Copies of this chain bind each other. A is one copy, B any other.
Amino acid sequence: MTYCVGLKVRDGIVLIADTRTNAGLDNIAVFRKLHILNHPNQRVIALATAGNLAVSQAVISYLAEGVTLDGHDEPLTLETTPSMFVTAQLVGKAIREVYRQDGEALEQSGGFDVQMLLAGQIAGRSVRLYQVYSAGNFIEATTDTPYLQIGEHKYGKPILDRAVQYETSLEDALKLSLISMDSTMRSNLGVGMPIDTLVYRDGALEPEIELRITDEDPYFTSLRNSWSDALREAHLAIPAPPYWYGK
């Protein structure tokens, strides 16, 4: 399993991904799922992947080698796309290339499953956050729904639903992403530490924070404990149901 969440707020983007992969509970490994291309002053492009690891890796390889979009003469890579929109098209095309090659075999053994979050900015253009589906099509985060999730998304969704807004600061966006990740890790063993983290501020054209948060990270440990304590206190502060009165 995997959990990745991306938040696009007014000031920029937060994108985090766990690093656990498993083929059954008895075959667990650490793989990087958050890939960051950083060309200072030119472009920062991040790709978080969920689903079949072989498919994800093949897509990343295609993107590095170059993919030719319909209507273009030359192949493009993540280093040469003119905009984030074209980058999303390129990622979608790469997924379709992998499907063309491996799709039939994979459909016969469990399905062709890959999802990606694509975030970043190219000099002179807007910051963007996209979710690309296994069909190669994609959606973009909006001011109404400023977050996108891939992988094991349900456990960590309630806090996002309630607390994340477009006006949320980057600091709070990172904190909320980590709370969402903690809820997911707590309920699904297939999602695990360490957590790869990117914070990107609109216009910076280089990452503001690029960090692997490990089990020993004192802030994350304290966040986990504070959040658990706060949830307990929160439910204790709610009065008991009144349905017993008058019985």
Contacts and interface: CB of A to CB of B under 8 A. Distances in A.
Interface of A: 154-155, 157-159, 161-163, 171-172, 174-176, 178-179, 183, 186-187, 197, 199, 208-209, 211, 219, 222-223, 226-228, 230-235, 237-244, 247
Contacts of A237: 226, 230
B158 A187 contact: yes
A158 B183 contact: yes
B235 A176 contact: yes
Copies of this protein in the assembly total 2
28 contacts: A154-B154, A155-B157, A155-B158, A157-B187, A158-B231, A159-B231, A159-B235, A161-B186, A162-B231, A163-B235, A174-B243, A175-B235, A178-B241, A197-B243, A208-B244, A209-B243, A209-B247, A219-B241, A219-B242, A226-B237, A226-B238, A227-B238, A230-B230, A230-B233, A230-B234, A230-B237, A230-B238, A231-B231
